[in-house]
Amino acid sequence: MSVNSRGTVRDPVIAYIALGANLGDPVAALLQAMDDMAALSHITLTQRSSLYRTAPIESSGPDYVNAVVEIQTALTAPVLLVQLQQLEQQAGRERPFYHAPRTLDLDLLLYGSATIDSPNLVVPHPRMHARAFVLRPLTEIAPHCVTVNQLRAVQGQTISRLV
């Protein structure tokens, strides 16, 4: 894979992004974030999961609304992460403490077949296989990315499909 000075790669990559929110209007926030991602240069949003409601894990506050999208992108993973973080900031994301309630959370789950371990980015996402709110929507749009054993491991977590 070659990278040019704009942070793009020659051949587009399929990536999966988890979305979550539990402050304000989380449904509207996720739908807006999906539209905002689709409008970014070098990104084509190819699939959207249903929206799911889940209780906070390792946190407090209102229930979350979660989803996963599949994109095709010519952006490198680090540049994509910066773009996602900018969308979070535009949605009013604050990080007062670890696992704080949020207006929008965007996590890069998978970036092609890449394995990335840097101070700013770890792919595959290190906790994705322990979260029903990631695996259920991911299974809906990319069943080849999730195993039966992974789903079985999170079956005790409460999750309900909204739309």
Tens place of pLDDT per residue across the chain (163 aa): 555 556 666 789 999 999 999 989 999 999 999 999 999 999 999 999 999 999 887 777 889 999 999 999 999 999 999 999 999 888 765 554 455 567 899 999 999 999 999 999 999 999 999 999 999 999 999 999 999 999 999 999 999 999 7
Q: How many CA atoms lie within 13 Å of 39's alpha carbon, on the beta-carbon side?
A: 7
Q: Domains in the chain, start-ordered, CATH in brackets?
A: 8-161 (3.30.70.560)
Mind telling me the catalytic residues? 93, 102, 105, 107
Residue 88: the pLDDT is: 86
Look at residues 58, 31, 28 and name the one whose alpha carbon lies nearest to residue 127: 58
The verdict on whether omega for the bond into residue 124 sits within 30 degrees of 0, i.e. cis, is yes
How would you write 28-72 as a 3-class SS string?
HHHHHHHHHHHHCCCEEEEEECCCEEECCCCCCCCCEEEEEEEEE
